[in-house]
Structure 1
Amino acid sequence: MHIHLIPLRLAAGAYILNSGLSKRGADEDTARGLQDMAAAAYPVVKDMEPKKFARLLSTSEIALGSALLVPVLPRTVVAAGFTAFSGLLVGVYLKTPALHVGPGDPRPNDQGVGVAKDVILFGAALTFLLDALRLDARAAARKTTKKVAKETAKVSRKTVEAGAKAAAVGVAAKKLRHHHH
């Protein structure tokens, strides 16, 4: 893990893990509230049983928070999951007018301040994802460069060998010509 990502991963991972743990065993009212908020932005969850939705959300947050805290999965996979999750949270905020100052105004009202922080989480996730992609691209470029250098060296050796053989044949042919004269 790169040192510059440690603060981001620790802070986001601890926050998301805590959020998931706090939803573990949510009562019916809490589960329904979570589901209603999500369903306003993403109608596909409307038909789920509220407690099942809360368990799924809790488990997802625990898994993502843990993945950020304990770097065992590939960084790009974790960064993509973090970005997708935080993007969904931003979607909930943006698609819930009751959290905004007024119609068409994306600024948060008093009820929206707690949810608007997800924009910061999304920015952190995008930063992590872009950095992971950059590092993966750099690693791939290094690997390709090594492979090209190895193949170039092989071709160069074969070219030198072929040149040496051609020179030897040329010398031999010249000797034969001089020998026949």
Structure 2
Amino acid sequence: MMQLPEPRDVAPRLASGAFILNAGLTMWKSDREAAEAVHGMASAAYPFLAQLPPERFTRLLAASEIAVGATLLAPFVPTRLAGAALTGFAGGLVGLYLRLPGMHRPGSLRPTQDGLPLAKDAWLLGMGLGFLCVPCGSRAHREQHRRHCHRGRRCHWGH
């Protein structure tokens, strides 16, 4: 049986998924100049990326964004799995913000004017971490557990 996301998870999955999917589709069509700019910024934060040609890096990044966005938008993907994808992706973006010079004020996490577009990725990281905290199991199983435990009985969960 397909497990649909909890109602509380639908809005953040739609918002973050649509945003990331759009970014990936846009980047997929980027020209050489845009690819070099994105690659240069990423290589400054993560020097090992300098080994990849700019066009290849941009295609890989675009494919990753498309995959993460589609994962978040697909209702049949469990929220915890979508959260793992979002957390990993957003963690890399927050790392970019923290590593690039001039993105945040010296000695502070507060963004500079140039850092504002990257600082917003902290919201994506927060959503991903929140999705990872979603309880396991089906809604029906959790409801059965709640009814059982609230009648003072011990259950297989040890409550």
Task: State the TM-score, normalizing by the size of structure 2.
Answer: 0.80
Given candidates 61, 65, 83, the residue that maps to 2:87 is 83
Given candidates 129, 133, 140, the residue that maps to 1:130 is 133
Q: How does 1:72-151 map to 2 (within 5 A)?
A: 72-101=76-105, 103-131=106-134, 134-136=135-137
Q: How does 1:134-173 map to 2 (within 5 A)?
A: 134-136=135-137
The superposition leaves residues 28-80 of structure 1 with CA deviations (integer Å, 9 ceiling, x where unpaired) of: 12111111111122222111010011111111101111111112333322211
Paired with 1:9 and 1:122, the residues of 2 have a C-alpha distance of: 12
Q: For residues 136 and 82 of structure 1, do their structure 2 counterparts lie closer, same or farther at Cα, with a shift above 3 Å needed?
A: farther
Task: State the TM-score, normalizing by the size of structure 1.
Answer: 0.71
Instruction: Determine the structure 2 residue equivalent to 1:58.
Output: 62
Instruction: Determine the structure 2 residue equivalent to 1:171.
Output: none
**Any conservation in 1 of the 2:104–2:111 contact (CA below 8 Å)?**
yes
**Any conservation in 1 of the 2:42–2:96 contact (CA below 8 Å)?**
yes
Paired with 2:78 and 2:16, the residues of 1 have a C-alpha distance of: 17
Paired with 1:40 and 1:79, the residues of 2 have a C-alpha distance of: 27
What amino acid sits opposite 2:99 in the alignment? K
Paired with 1:96 and 1:76, the residues of 2 have a C-alpha distance of: 30
More helix, by proportion: 1
1:22 to 2:23 alignment: no
Superposed displacement of residue 136, structure 1: 4.3
What amino acid sits opposite 2:23 in the alignment? S
Paired with 1:116 and 1:136, the residues of 2 have a C-alpha distance of: 34
Question: Which secondary structure state, in structure 1, belongs to the residue aligned with residue 97 of structure 2?
Answer: helix
Instruction: Determine the structure 1 residue equivalent to 2:40.
Output: 36
Which of 1 and 2 has greater Rg? Answer: 1
Paired with 2:138 and 2:124, the residues of 1 have a C-alpha distance of: 24
Paired with 1:136 and 1:115, the residues of 2 have a C-alpha distance of: 35
